[in-house]
Chains A and B, each alone.
Chain A
Amino acid sequence: MLAFEMERPASLKEAFEILSRSGPDTAVKAGGTDLLVWMKKNLVHPELIVDLSLIEELKGISFDPSGGLVIGALATVNEVAEHPQVGKFYPALMDAALSHSDFVMRNKATVVGNLCSAVPSGDMIAPCCVYEGVMHLVGPAGRRKVPVMEFITGPRKNVLQKGEIVKSVELPLPKGHSAGCYLKLGRRNALDLAQVGVACVITDGPGEREYRLSFGAVTPRPVRAKVAEDLLRGVVSPDESLLDKVAEAAMACVDPITDVRASREYRISMVGELTKKALRKCLERF
């Protein structure tokens, strides 16, 4: 790993002071599980690392039924998985958290870091999309809120401006009774990046039954399967022929790559299968 300097601000104010006078080769660090590996592989060469891990304002997870779940930038994947309201109201996020890396890595890796990295296989992306997550950004120009779907603009690309950081991600509570799940296809149980991930949420909101579907590892930027969701809207128990149509629609909205883990064709067909499986599982859990 090449040499770098490191600052460890104790507050957001201090962090912004450092970031405002730092050069272009500056990286912020939360858990560092992506950053350290990228530096080791010589993919990035920051001269200065601003370690956010001491900043109190970025820690913790809070839940409020009117607002929803607010996951601070430093909350680890394990903290999220162990939060009682996550298991109860955000099962798709819970499934995804437990599918992330392994038990030890989850003590270090953060949920917000996963979203900031914007790697298409990031396991937190699809669940945060089906829960309609919103990123809370703070920077020199003030605060702004950006939906997760718009925050990630491409593989490893996000909307953050220089000096801007993410304070938290907020997931509004689904209205009415709901169920959710995240299915991940990997080659082994632990420590494998997703070949395909499917996040599904069903809600009985104020109106008719609503379905939400999003995918991991098969699109350059986050998508919701709008056509598939519309086919299902209002249907209480979809039959097999409807599920087949939904699977077709899901496959039509992904655009996967071929890499060492799987081919494009295999991934597309698995999107169809996993979408049906995720819907059945959600309906069972409902």
Chain B
Amino acid sequence: MPKQPINVVLNGKPVTLEVEPRTTLLRALREFGVTSVKRGCEEGECGTCTVLLDGKLQKSCMVLAVEAEGRKVVTSEGLLGPDGELHPVQKAFVEEGAIQCGFCTPGMVLAAVDLLNRHPDPTDEQIKEGLSGNLCRCTGYVSIIRAVHKAAAMLKERR
């Protein structure tokens, strides 16, 4: 099947990806060199491939790349500040030891950013619900929940 070009705005920059109809957004992004988007189960279960598509969380293995035509994609790289400084959520994950092997982290961080947009001061229950699509095999989630609370406080201070 011949490849076709699609245009997306990736982390704020317009780019062109060469894809087949069957190419998932996950594979297209990784082929383009965006390696923070992890290939886990490729069946929608694990959440390591999570991205923000037009501001909404999506598992990129469940999105065909052509569906992203003309849309905005944000990955964990896109959360960095203008001088490359970590986003408060990323910072909190580092500080709270919420990262062990790190495979789940890029997706988990995006899910946490989206959660804090919707619930700036979340309860444990809201955190669990917001991160329910992202599995972590290492941390046992306790440090992740702590990191999200910390990020919420950091974001509040910034405002």
Contacts and interface: CB of A to CB of B under 8 A. Distances in A.
B57 interface: yes
Interface stretch (A12-20, A33-41, A250-258): A33-41
A32 interface: yes
B66 A103 contact: no
Given A101-B133, A105-B62, A190-B132, A6 B57 contact: no
Interface stretch (B43-51, B87-95, B137-145): B43-51
Given A3-B1, A5-B21, A6-B66, A103 B132 contact: yes
A3 B22 contact: yes
B83 interface: no
Contacts of B57: 103-104, 107
B21 A108 contact: no
B59 A108 contact: yes
- Interface range on chain B (Cβ under 8 Å from partner): 20 to 34
Contact of B132 (A6, A36, A51, A189): A189
Interface in B55-69: 56-59, 61-64, 66-67
B22 A191 contact: no
Contact of A104 (B42, B50, B67): B50
A105 B44 contact: yes
Contact of B64 (A32, A37, A103): A32
Given A103-B130, A108-B62, A1 B50 contact: no
Leading 10 A-B pairs by shortest Cβ distance: A102-B133, A104-B133, A190-B132, A6-B21, A102-B132, A3-B1, A104-B57, A1-B22, A107-B56, A103-B132
Interface of A: 1-6, 8, 31-33, 36-37, 40, 49, 51, 53, 101-105, 107-108, 189-191
Interface of B: 1, 20-22, 24, 42-45, 47, 50, 56-59, 61-64, 66-67, 111, 128-134
